[in-house]
Amino acid sequence: MVERLHDPDLRLYIVWVAVKHAQQPAELAANAAREAQAFRRAGVLNYVDPQSDAAAAFALPLNLQRRMGVQLPAWDVYLSYSRGARWDSQGPPPPAFWMHQLSNAPGELWLNPERLRAEVQRMLDEKSSKL
Structure confidence at residue 65 as a pLDDT band (50, 70, 90): confident
Count how many domains the chain has.
1
- Report the alpha-carbon distance of residue 73 to residue 78 in Å, rounded: 13
> The dihedral of CA 92, 8, 3, 40: what is its sign?
negative
pLDDT, tens digit (0-9, with 9 covering 90-100), for 24-56: 899 999 999 999 999 888 899 999 999 989 999
- C-alpha distance from residue 110 to each of 17, 50, 101 (Å): 20, 25, 6
Write down the pLDDT at residue 94.
95
The pTM of the full predicted model, rounded to 2 decimals, is 0.85
pLDDT at residue 99 in the model: 97
Domain of residue 100, residue span: 2-129
The yes-or-no verdict on residue 131 having pLDDT over 80 is no
